[in-house]
Structure 1
């Protein structure tokens, strides 16, 4: 019985995150975040039961950082889940944080990345593979390969974000990547042997777009999803939502007389516009023999409406659908503008604002268990929900947006029990209807990232058996920046009894001048007094739309330019000034009068008919149903 513990290893890592220059796609040399002066970051490979002892030093002089181990359950180590504002303070420049994690009770394909300011889109990311403790993968194979997929920008997040979260981008149009990467480069070649079964671990490290992959002349046999082994499922193409993972078996042919195209493609439905110079399909090579002709681009007739909902966990990993929930948490997804004209993302009209005190610090400094289980102490703008020990929680997400939202829950795999179809082309969102018939799976698919279809819904359940602070957020980094986040405080009394803050953890906070005791407002005397907490910008006045904001902004700009022109002309001694003004504006007086008449009679007449909302997406809440229901 003691043998696994005796054989368990401790893996030591000393890493420094630092800026360096790289050119992954071969088209633009730019700053990226490297590890000890190298990029890509190292692959971590451990065995179930092993311990990771990783010292991360922030070698960047202009940004704080963090490290999240995507998909790890972090049992009794929520302190190392790596989410600033929730489970830790940000690591300041020059500071070092120890992540000390024993990985037990799970194995499979996953990865690690920064959870700060979308830094993983700047390169702070790497592969994490956990082998089963008995050394035997659930399915037989001959050889193993790892494939990472991601989108790539030619500018860093710091350069892009100011234009994205900006009054001049009132529709919230996401920045469009320049390329897709294949194992952190382009034009990849995979050398294969004939008559061989490969286990391919495919990981999406994308920050915005979903990615299709398809392989000429071969099928993918899915055998695991987000680390959960599944019954075999054969398909000729895969769709990976942002940050999803698939293990697939690929059987090679008996002959070596042809090489094949291994394709990667953007999910163009996620782009507001498609630039003329955007390359959509990327051709990589599955090479049986380097002497064969290079394969041409492989075109498929259509992308399948991939329904991972139909996957079933493998024998030994099946869990019957959880019984009726003790707690129902509803999140209505909306993308909309606030009073500053900027477009934000909301669950139930709340756009996440990081609290002054990390949520874990609030739990551990609360005066008693009852206070720690009062979700109001965690802040008005954190969308925090308290889960009691072993409660069955059902999360209902109604997507009132025309975009896809890949939702990731930390600390768990969940059961996807119901998902609506894609209603992107419908005039209005279609929310879940409790009276509509539904056929539930006996053994639901289990994973940790699920894509919520456009203007549709998803329902999933998990069991509150992992005490901790768990983020749930859209894995589209731009949407996380916009505030599409929920937090679950799970079994707070257990956290208070069995978990604690290390001296190193506290030092990280102190160096950053961040408090780690008190409620969300850093009130230590009265935890239910949130005076001074950080909250979202006030709502827009009724009747404003994104189009209205655009019109207002450009009207103001035009007004300022007009005043400037008046000033220039007024102070200058210019002959024939009337003629020059008319030439500059290229308008006849009759045109000016006509435009003015249209503006006053057209727009003013319709002012009462302007609809509030987001011109790109439907932003109206479906109804006034509560976002949180605890069953009796």
Structure 2
């Protein structure tokens, strides 16, 4: 009888597994990436990155458990490209993560690449270019993973995916940024802010229904506040992590962050209600007179009713008190991870380097691309893959042990905020100061306040988890995660301008396990060959001696401290020039005095002669 019951259980489990297998499907997208023309704000026609001749780009939609295949052909003609599936863990498929020179070579014009991985996650994500800082040129869109088992499925009737973003009229390559003419590193000011890649749009809703709104900031720079007039909502997801349904009225959504919220409609069709987005003006060095920071879109109950503008003014924006994401409780009740096996202590700095331009650094390193993608170095380095030296001095490499508990302390020595994203993981939010809300900018005008591990507030029992977390101005945050996903993972600020300046580092997680578990497809090696990028060797491209980094790409040199030999020579020549100049002035001045004296004597003699003749 026991044997019979056990056999029945085995058959039942097998049947369930088979059912899940047949339910999963392969979802394939064929993307031909080309230039198209768009004018989303109605102010300026410009080139944008389109897919299959269209912009906005297609939303990728899959069910949890599906196999996602994206065949991308680069038809841009003059730009390299890639795709990063933001928030996807890529467990076992690190080569599909997408950041160029981290896990793959850039895809050159005329080349193609295939991304192929199983989506064993749920929630709200997005995809974007991760090569040469090209996603602000339009190469970004939502990626939605539907989950038939989501705990809130029976709590809503319909759903909308909503993107918000900043928008530039100029091509990113044409904007002067890292240059001695911009020594303060002032970020370029956007020309507009978009809602679903347009302005003045409406979401059609029905009275009494509840809607799931998936909110995604796909911008390159500016965080935005979000609220709906005369409505509250319940947060049920952040960055792919389900949370206990928590009521809120205002959200602060940095670039790369996502929220899913439930909003129940009123039982009336008399009015339409403004959906309000307000750009965080604290991030902007200047605010042009023609830049609109607040925008109104609508919950449209009635097409024929008025569509009123929101009543907020720019001056009110700093008074908006957003919900604190650290207070959210994950629905799975994952507890605080134990004390860390490895603590990575970092500080953000912004510094002028030797060329006079402003750069971003973590500790003393401004991320600089290697000559070989770091994952390919792992795959070709053998046992030396556990030695961080092979990955170069300027990729800021950190080797993590398999299944270590890792804690990252990130202090901010800069007066701006920074949304940091970790590839391959979400992480627990265990400490941050100052908190969201009215105190978020408290440290901005004083001295930086660093995290003190011996004196901090209590960590939460069930910390919120997400993959993008905002570092407050001159404050800090502390996060934890388990290194249970062998791969090369980028940790970087998601303000694209700051990534250009070097605000990132590389985590090489369990490199020997990467070698055992990973197979890079031939198609990806072909991409390297077509782009002229080495697919073997250390960060300098050396395949003979992996510890010889001669010729590696280097960050710009530091400004000289005191007088260097070059400085002394320059000073000597400056002094010699000064003395020669003074001598020249003296001689020229003296000769001028002599000539003036001689002239006066001549005039005096002539005058005396004239007087003698008259007498």
> Among residues 366, 376, 386, which one is paired with 1:351 in the alignment?
366
Q: Does 1:364 align with 2:383?
A: no
Task: Report what 1:169 is aligned to.
Answer: 182
**Stretches of 4+ aligned residues off by more than 3 angstroms:** 133-139, 422-426
Deviation at 1:419? Answer: 0.3
Change (3 A) 1:350 1:493: same
Q: Does 1:448 align with 2:467?
A: yes
**In structure 2, the residue corresponding to 1:418 is in which secondary structure?**
strand
Deviation at 1:137? Answer: 4.7
Q: Does 1:323 align with 2:338?
A: yes
The 5 Å alignment of 1:62-461 reads 62-104=78-120, 106-132=121-147, 134=149, 137=152, 140-160=155-175, 163-299=176-312, 302-314=319-331, 317-368=332-383, 371-421=384-434, 422=440, 423-461=442-480
Is contact 1:107-1:130 (8 Å) kept?
yes
Is contact 1:521-1:534 (8 Å) kept?
yes
Task: Report what 1:565 is aligned to.
Answer: none
Task: Report what 2:65 is aligned to.
Answer: 49
Q: What is the rounded CA distance, in whole Å, between the counterparts of 1:137 and 1:101 in structure 2?
A: 27
Task: Report what 2:575 is aligned to.
Answer: none
Q: What TM-score does the superposition give when structure 2 sets the normalisation length?
A: 0.86
Q: What is the rounded CA distance, in whole Å, between the counterparts of 1:362 and 1:493 in structure 2?
A: 12
Q: What is the rounded CA distance, in whole Å, between the counterparts of 1:138 and 1:229 in structure 2?
A: 12
Deviation at 1:22? Answer: 0.6
Q: What is the rounded CA distance, in whole Å, between the counterparts of 2:229 and 2:58 in structure 1?
A: 30
Task: Report what 1:601 is aligned to.
Answer: none
Deviation at 1:84? Answer: 0.6
Q: Which runs of 5+ in 2 are unaligned?
A: 1-16, 435-439, 564-615
> Among residues 535, 541, 544, which one is paired with 1:525 in the alignment?
544
Task: Report what 2:554 is aligned to.
Answer: 535
Change (3 A) 1:139 1:402: farther
Is contact 2:396-2:505 (8 Å) kept?
yes
Q: What is the rounded CA distance, in whole Å, between the counterparts of 1:261 and 1:133 in structure 2?
A: 31
Q: What is the rounded CA distance, in whole Å, between the counterparts of 2:286 and 2:445 in structure 1?
A: 19
Q: What is the rounded CA distance, in whole Å, between the counterparts of 1:452 and 1:187 in structure 2?
A: 32
> Among residues 3, 22, 28, which one is paired with 1:6 in the alignment?
22
Change (3 A) 1:520 1:288: same
**In structure 2, the residue corresponding to 1:86 is in which secondary structure?**
coil
Task: Report what 1:569 is aligned to.
Answer: none
Q: What is the rounded CA distance, in whole Å, between the counterparts of 1:48 and 1:133 in structure 2?
A: 8
Change (3 A) 1:353 1:506: same
Is contact 1:332-1:399 (8 Å) kept?
yes
**In structure 1, the residue corresponding to 2:213 is in which secondary structure?**
strand
Q: What is the rounded CA distance, in whole Å, between the counterparts of 2:287 and 2:119 in structure 1?
A: 42
**In structure 2, the residue corresponding to 1:393 is in which secondary structure?**
strand
**Alignment deviations for residues 106-142 of structure 1 (CA, whole Å, 9 cap, x no partner):** 1111111100122211111121111125476556211
The 5 Å alignment of 1:423-502 reads 423-502=442-521
Is contact 1:261-1:298 (8 Å) kept?
no
Q: What is the rounded CA distance, in whole Å, between the counterparts of 2:323 and 2:179 in structure 1?
A: 34
**In structure 2, the residue corresponding to 1:2 is in which secondary structure?**
helix
**Alignment deviations for residues 207-263 of structure 1 (CA, whole Å, 9 cap, x no partner):** 100001111110121110001011121111111011100000001101111111111
Q: CA RMSD in A?
A: 1.8
**In structure 1, the residue corresponding to 2:542 is in which secondary structure?**
coil
| Range 129-138 or range 535-544, more displaced | 129-138
Deviation at 1:504? Answer: 0.5
Number of matched pairs: 541
Q: What is the rounded CA distance, in whole Å, between the counterparts of 1:425 and 1:224 in structure 2?
A: 30
Deviation at 1:375? Answer: 0.9
**Alignment deviations for residues 344-385 of structure 1 (CA, whole Å, 9 cap, x no partner):** 1000110001100111111110132xx111111101001111
The 5 Å alignment of 1:585-596 reads none
Q: What is the rounded CA distance, in whole Å, between the counterparts of 1:540 and 1:277 in structure 2?
A: 38
Q: What is the rounded CA distance, in whole Å, between the counterparts of 2:309 and 2:541 in structure 1?
A: 60
Is contact 2:402-2:510 (8 Å) kept?
yes
**Alignment deviations for residues 272-305 of structure 1 (CA, whole Å, 9 cap, x no partner):** 1111221111111221111212213232852115
